[in-house]
Amino acid sequence: MTPEELLRWFHDHVRPLVNEVFPQRLPILDDDARRLDRLLEQDDRIEICFLGNCAVGKSTLLNALVVGDGAVVPSGGKGGPLTALATEVRYSERKHFVAHYHPPAVLNKISFALERQLERELKGGQPADRSLGVGEDIGAGLEPADREEVLAELDDAIEGDATDGEVSSRLDHYRRQAQLLIAGTQDGDLPLDYLVDCLRLALGQKPREREEPSEDALARIRKTQGVLARARDGQPYERFEFESGDARGFNEDLEAHVAGFLSPLIERLAVGWPSELLSQGVVLVDLPGVGISRDVYRRVTQEHIANARAVVLVVNRAGMPEGVWELLRQSGYLQRLVGTADDPGADPCAMMVVVTHVDDTTRDEWSKRIAWGEKPKKADLFRETVAETQKSIRQQFIAQVRDAVAGETGEIGDTVNAVADHLMTSVQVHPVSAPEYRRLRAGDEDDPPFLKDPGDSGIPALRCAIQALAEDQRQALRARRAAVSERLERGATHELNGIAALSINVTQSAEQAARLRRALELVVEQKKKEYLARRGGFREYLDAAARTRIRELVIIARDDAKWRVAGYLRELRYMHWGSLRAAVRRGGVWLRGSGRNIDVPNDIVDHFHIPMAAVWSEGLLKEIRERTRRLADDTASMVREICDRAREYAAADIDPTRVDAEQQRSADQAKQFGEVGTEAADELRKEIRKGLADVIEPSIRSACDEFVRRGDHIGSGVKNRMLNLFEELAAEATEAAVEPAVALLRDRFESVREDILRRFGDWGDPLQQAVDGIAPDPGSFDTERAVGWQEILHRIWLARPDTTDAEKADSESAGVIA
């Protein structure tokens, strides 16, 4: 019987009768039915996220995994991608993709930035008038925050805040996006006034000059206008590959969206492909390059990491980039692991490191040895390089993680160290050569591979590792479904057997049942006081946890967050004063195209989020689960004593399977309490960061705005003033977050508390229910109605999906549901 069939059988046939005869015992069955329903609804897709810097070969790697010698995700091309989008690749029998576009305001912002830059150039480098001026129709459609950001970037360039080309890089980013939209390539040097006019045409505005765009540019402008129209209406664009020679047109359209002229307008892209790797629910997600430092990068990355079953960190032959631990924090991966430290299996997310360009290292080594007069084979050198790379990358990863947690102390430090230990022991390292694998698959004699066996490229092994991970996750989900299904079926069958026994006892064995009930109720009287004392003590514990324990844990988290933030602020002292001022003028945020970013609000939130996740998982939820299990196990032990007494007293008068089934029912219920708090923990992980951000971010932005309004961002000693500002803001923000954090934890704790109390309420009086299950009281049922139950039980038996024809034929004489 499948889980779906079991649920239909339970709801349509079993539940109505149990509700009539044993309504007090129904909630336990209903609870398992609800749990099984949720497990069946749970998405069984396995999301694998690929994370890494631009130009490390992520797209080439994904193509090799999915199709081998084809292109599913076109390369970002020279200079890297110009937009922070996540591309999902999932299974589909027909090749297709669905593009969701940014709203027109995104293009509006690019156009506004270029217009202001043009005005500045026309004025000989002087600041552009902050009134809307010539670009009124463009700037009027911008959000105030976007408009101020563009103007601030231009002012920074004039006032000297540009360090190492930071601001010019940001402005160049806008220009390259426009160049890509109009010319189809980010390389080139189209005149700025020409780009401005073309963008105006795309936005439906009147151009400033009269120079006609080229025919190719006009085609792209018209396509862009169609995209903007779809974006205004909220309509995604879906494209299928048609069988009648459409492959080239489909691939060109896909490339235009992923890496071509439309890419700056893409918000999300989902690609469907008939790939064996994807056929079992695997979804590969190409996340924005780490070098794409924009707010949207952090948001998109964190959303996907929160649902991933594995994170694949892609690095090239240069080795592990600096700040891996920081990358894991910014992506939300670290917080997720800390939040499930008490039960890692509840929400697993593996870590893999894939090293690309190993073939380039091999060629370099081969050339070197040839120069020395040696004659090595490239394939042999490649295998040596793979072994050395795997060892060195693992060592680099472990070294960085160890350095990052070297100062961790206390309870929260223990949790973080446990997460670090898990990462260091479980990380998989896969050196690969996607280009060599593609050459082997293509078999092009004009582009021969130096490897002879596809397995040597590392791609098949990586594919197998992903498939094994996916299968493990599917097996785990199937196992959870099977466990609940078995428990529900066992419980339903037990209740039906009880009803069958009762229908016989009502007419045949009332006196025997009454004697047994009296004997068992004596045991219940002896245990009742102990049971009520244990249950009352547990309720007092829950109340005390809500009153005092949560605040204590938040204070611990606050103190730990202060320590983490202090370390973060020390690092800011090494930043150029111009970068600090650029951040102050933007509410504490200065995200550059490369190098170290400053994002004070988000970083403080993350540094508070880590200890909050730790105190919830290790400090509170783990403790609650242990106390709950202890009470449930003690209760099951008392029921076991009642069952033992039943076996001793009336071995000849009752069916021993009835006693065994009642004892099993109690043990099953105790096991259910091991899952308590799981849903609340999932919700907390999603809510806690937002709750902290809602308090911390506005206060920091407001204080930075006031700092600038007073003019404190200019003049002698400005760097120290800005550092002092950030220190004051950090202290104020962590203090201000305490009460919202307490409220948030109490709210989530209340969900856990209600879940626990509901489960115990569903259990009712387990001691008395054990007596009722073993020796039901015939006097409490209508005799005539009880006789009719046997016919209903027979129909329920026949309705079981797994009842064979032979069993149905024999069921006429069956007195129980077996």
Q: What is the 3-state secondary structure (H, E, C) of 39-92?
A: HHHCCCCEEEEEEECCCCCHHHHHHHHHCCCCCCCCCCCCCCCCCCCEEEEEEC
Sort 709 into a burial class: Cβ within 10 Å, 0-12 / 13-18 / 19+.
exposed
Sort 288 into a burial class: Cβ within 10 Å, 0-12 / 13-18 / 19+.
buried
Decide: 570 and 603 in contact? Cβ < 8 Å. no
Q: What are phi and psi of 599, to 5 degrees?
A: -145, 70
CA atoms within 13 A on the CB side of 423: 31
CA angle 511–515–520, rounded 5-degree value:
145
Strands 96-101 and 237-240, by their bridges, are antiparallel
Q: Which tokens belong to 336?
A: 């997720």
| Calpha distance 191→724 (Å, rounded) | 44
DSSP 104-115: HHHHHHHHHHHH
Could you tell me the CA-to-CA distances from 493 to 6, 442, 665 in Å, in that order?
11, 59, 11
What ranges do the domains of the chain cover? 46-93+274-457, 106-232, 540-778
| Calpha distance 376→373 (Å, rounded) | 10
Positions of the chain with pLDDT under 50: 77-81, 84, 128-135, 162, 164, 291-293, 814-818
Q: What is the pLDDT of residue 78?
A: 43
Sheet of 96-101, strands arranged across: 237-240, 96-101, 266-273, 86-91, 282-286, 46-52, 310-315, 350-355, 428-431
**AA letter at 579:** S
- Closest by alpha carbon to 290, among 329, 332, 333, 327? 327
Three-state DSSP class for residue 331: coil
Q: Which residues on adjacent β-strands are paired with residue 269?
A: 87, 99
| Calpha distance 88→473 (Å, rounded) | 19
Q: What is the 3-state secondary structure (H, E, C) of 729-756?
A: HHHHHHHHCHHHHHHHHHHHHHHHHHHH
Q: Which residues on adjacent β-strands are paired with residue 268?
A: 86, 100
Q: Which tokens belong to 307?
A: 């649902």
Number of H helices, E strands in the chain: 31, 11
Q: Which residues on adjacent β-strands are paired with residue 87?
A: 269, 286
Q: What is the pLDDT of residue 133?
A: 45
Q: What is the pLDDT of residue 80?
A: 46
Q: Which tokens belong to 510?
A: 């009332």
Q: Which residues on adjacent β-strands are paired with residue 350?
A: 310
- Closest by alpha carbon to 570, among 700, 727, 712, 416? 727
**AA letter at 332:** G
- In sign, the C-alpha dihedral spanning 591, 594, 598, 599 is positive
**AA letter at 151:** L
Decide: 596 and 320 in contact? Cβ < 8 Å. no
Tell me the CA end-to-end span of the chain in Å, nearest whole number.
Answer: 14
CA angle 501–503–508, rounded 5-degree value:
85
DSSP 130: S
Q: What is the pLDDT of residue 459?
A: 93
Sort 45 into a burial class: Cβ within 10 Å, 0-12 / 13-18 / 19+.
middle
| Calpha distance 500→816 (Å, rounded) | 6
CA angle 567–570–575, rounded 5-degree value:
135
* H-helix segments, 306-377: 324-330, 333-339, 358-371
Could you tell me the CA-to-CA distances from 811 to 494, 496, 803 in Å, in that order?
17, 15, 10
Listed in sequence order, the residues at least 6 apart from 781 whose beta carbon sits closer than 8 Å to its beta carbon are: 21, 502, 506
Strands 310-315 and 46-52, by their bridges, are parallel
Listed in sequence order, the residues at least 6 apart from 229 whose beta carbon sits closer than 8 Å to its beta carbon are: none
DSSP 355: E
pTM of the model: 0.82
| Calpha distance 500→505 (Å, rounded) | 9
Decide: 273 and 91 in contact? Cβ < 8 Å. yes
| Element containing residue 7 per DSSP (H, E) | helix 3-9
Topology adopted by domain 46-93+274-457: Rossmann fold (3.40.50)
Q: Which tokens belong to 683?
A: 């919700």
CA angle 395–397–401, rounded 5-degree value:
115
